[in-house]
Structure 1
Amino acid sequence: MTVLVFGGSSQIGHFLLPALCERGEPVLALSRQPRDAQAGLDWIEGQLPDAVPAVKDVSAIISFGPLQPFADWLAQAPLPLAPRVIATSSMSAETKRASPVPAERAISQQLRDGETALAAACARHGCAWTVLRPTLIYGAGLDKSLTPIARRASRTRLFPLPAGHGLRQPVHAADIALAVLAALDVASSAGRVLSLGGGERLPAADMFARVRRSLPVATVPLPLPAWLLRGARRVLPRLAGPMGRLESDLVADNTELTRLLGVTPRPFRPDADCWQSPPSVRS
């Protein structure tokens, strides 16, 4: 039996693929760039909805990419064995529902629509499914939130520190991979949308301060007071959403995650390796 992974070259895939291979099942992963096969792991070059050949004897399908294209492919794919399906969404499905920025509200709606479409596609095939909604992801140097900040600060030796009392709950990509592995084995997680945050909630300002302390080079702190951020929101409307959320809590309740899957994510203790791309990406 084969495990099919969409988004295998993502930050979660970086930790999941080796763990899947250790389980002994053949793994087939999709990537938009050519990659070398490894023991127990083969790659398909392409992206949804094209270049995905029919795969026989699939025991599970895992997706870390956009939900709607995956659900569209899943709905029409020949899946006679009704494989287990696990996909990631985002806590933005909830935290951006009431954003003052229309584009962010649209993202929230798209995520929820994608979750609904995935459930419908799985129902058509009789597949058990689980959706994980992670908070801010870090840990593999592939995220587009904290890693760009860390790298820019390392180059310029200046680290902006925006004021913000809203709570954050960054989750390490390796802990999401652990949750995926657990969901494969826990039947009671089927049909559930599970929130997945890190093991610690901390004010946004403290989160940025910890990223700064994790860097391998010294940087000069550049405090950005609340009044300056409010002015930036008025001058640059595109910043209204991100700046406004600095005072909002963007967290997840891990109660069901821990109860069903036994996963307890780590607290936010980043080091310099968190901001370095994996060797396969750097090459």
Structure 2
Amino acid sequence: MRTVIVSGASSQIGRMLLPRLAQAGFRVIALSRKGEPAWQEGCAGEVSWLRADISDPQSLQGLPAADGLIHLAPLAILSDALAAFAASGVRRLIAFSSSSKFSKAQSPVAAERAFAARLQAAEDAVAAACGRHAMHWTIFRPTLIYGCGMDRNVALIRRIIHVTGFFPLLGAGSGLRQPVHADDLAAACVAVFDNPAAFDKSYELSGGECLSYRAMVERIFASLHLKPRFVRIPVALFGAALRLLAFIPRYRDFNVAMAQRMNEDLVYAHDDATRDFGYQPRKFQP
């Protein structure tokens, strides 16, 4: 039985990934700063939890022997930690970046441009570190992730609708989106683990359906058995609301540029992933 370490295992992708790995015959070592989440009891098979902080080298001392690492935590902290994982025998890496590398690269907000640059630098650093440690790597760049109620996209829209009964919209909400389910990302991890066609490559992983921002929100209304209700909000008022929301730590990076992207297309083809490992994501099902 081969062993795979999953860092950031308490994330929404982790919640879908751990059962898939166990069912595929892997022994799973799940790393999390917080320890075992409540949902882990549903993970049958060889799954054990280890409290560890990837950004703290001391917590990675004495890692168990493993064949691979699936990194679901922030990519920026990975390259410095790869030596510790290599010492435990890891020779296969699957990690997650983000399509924000592209969508925020030309943002009018300096902090977003800097974020996109950090993603690019992190991808480059990971690839270089894997070269030094003889690891084959695969980097995924998902689009708008949903599926477990743990995201800041669909779950936030759902909460706004639940509290207010309507959704604030900037303009027509015409920008195209491709929401991707966390379980489809988990399936992609299992599909590429032993697939040489995916070694040392990066992939855009978008959802199986392209729809406008407004249509995406309408479908979330429908999932709540509510009639869609929208309120058009001026840019200045939207910016003020987002600045208030940014006082909540989880949303501190929210800004008016995010609202303006409601009318921008954020579409990324996943043809390469379909060709190399049969990626077939589902349609949007909130």
Short-chain TM bin: 0.7 to 0.9
Mapping for residues 92-107 of structure 1, pairs under 5 Å: 92-107=100-115
Mapping for residues 1-283 of structure 1, pairs under 5 Å: 1-35=2-36, 39-50=45-56, 51-79=59-87, 81-162=89-170, 163-215=172-224, 218=226, 221-224=229-232, 228-229=234-235, 232-233=238-239, 239-270=255-286
Deviation by residue 1:106-160 (Cα, 9 ceiling, x = unmatched): 1101111111111011111110000000000000110012202202321333333
Deviation by residue 1:17-72 (Cα, 9 ceiling, x = unmatched): 00111122210011122327764111111321232243343111001111121111
Supply the RMSD in Å over aligned alpha carbons.
Answer: 2.2
| Structure 2 CA distance for aligned equivalents of residues 220 and 136 of structure 1 | 21
Deviation by residue 1:225-248 (Cα, 9 ceiling, x = unmatched): 6xx237645997863311221221
Offset of 1:76 from its aligned partner? 4.9
| Structure 2 CA distance for aligned equivalents of residues 236 and 195 of structure 1 | 28
Residue 138 of structure 2 contacts residue 201 of structure 2 at CA under 8 Å; is this kept in 1?
Answer: yes
The amino acid that maps onto 1:44 is L
Residue 63 of structure 2 contacts residue 88 of structure 2 at CA under 8 Å; is this kept in 1?
Answer: no
Residue 195 of structure 1 contacts residue 257 of structure 1 at CA under 8 Å; is this kept in 2?
Answer: yes
More deviation in 202-211 or 145-154?
145-154
| Structure 2 CA distance for aligned equivalents of residues 257 and 29 of structure 1 | 26
Report the secondary structure of 2:255's partner residue.
helix
Residue 3 of structure 1 contacts residue 58 of structure 1 at CA under 8 Å; is this kept in 2?
Answer: yes
Runs of 4+ residues deviating >6 angstroms: 234-238
The amino acid that maps onto 2:50 is I
Residue 31 of structure 2 contacts residue 52 of structure 2 at CA under 8 Å; is this kept in 1?
Answer: yes
Residue 4 of structure 1 contacts residue 28 of structure 1 at CA under 8 Å; is this kept in 2?
Answer: yes
Residue 137 of structure 1 contacts residue 173 of structure 1 at CA under 8 Å; is this kept in 2?
Answer: yes
Residue 153 of structure 1 contacts residue 219 of structure 1 at CA under 8 Å; is this kept in 2?
Answer: no
Offset of 1:161 from its aligned partner? 4.2
Offset of 1:220 from its aligned partner? 6.4
| Structure 2 CA distance for aligned equivalents of residues 80 and 269 of structure 1 | 39
Q: Residues 80 and 141 from structure 1, CA distance in 2 versus in 1: closer, same or farther, beyond 3 angstroms?
A: closer
Offset of 1:185 from its aligned partner? 2.1
Report the secondary structure of 1:185's partner residue.
coil
Residue 100 of structure 1 contacts residue 240 of structure 1 at CA under 8 Å; is this kept in 2?
Answer: no
Residue 101 of structure 2 contacts residue 116 of structure 2 at CA under 8 Å; is this kept in 1?
Answer: yes
Q: Residues 152 and 230 from structure 1, CA distance in 2 versus in 1: closer, same or farther, beyond 3 angstroms?
A: closer
The residue aligned with 1:276 is none
Residue 5 of structure 1 contacts residue 63 of structure 1 at CA under 8 Å; is this kept in 2?
Answer: yes
Offset of 1:85 from its aligned partner? 0.2
Residue 66 of structure 2 contacts residue 88 of structure 2 at CA under 8 Å; is this kept in 1?
Answer: no
The residue aligned with 2:251 is none
The amino acid that maps onto 1:173 is A
**TM-score if structure 2 supplies the norm length?**
0.86
Unmatched segments (≥5 aa) in structure 1: 271-283
The amino acid that maps onto 1:245 is R
Report the secondary structure of 2:139's partner residue.
strand
| Structure 1 CA distance for aligned equivalents of residues 93 and 230 of structure 2 | 45
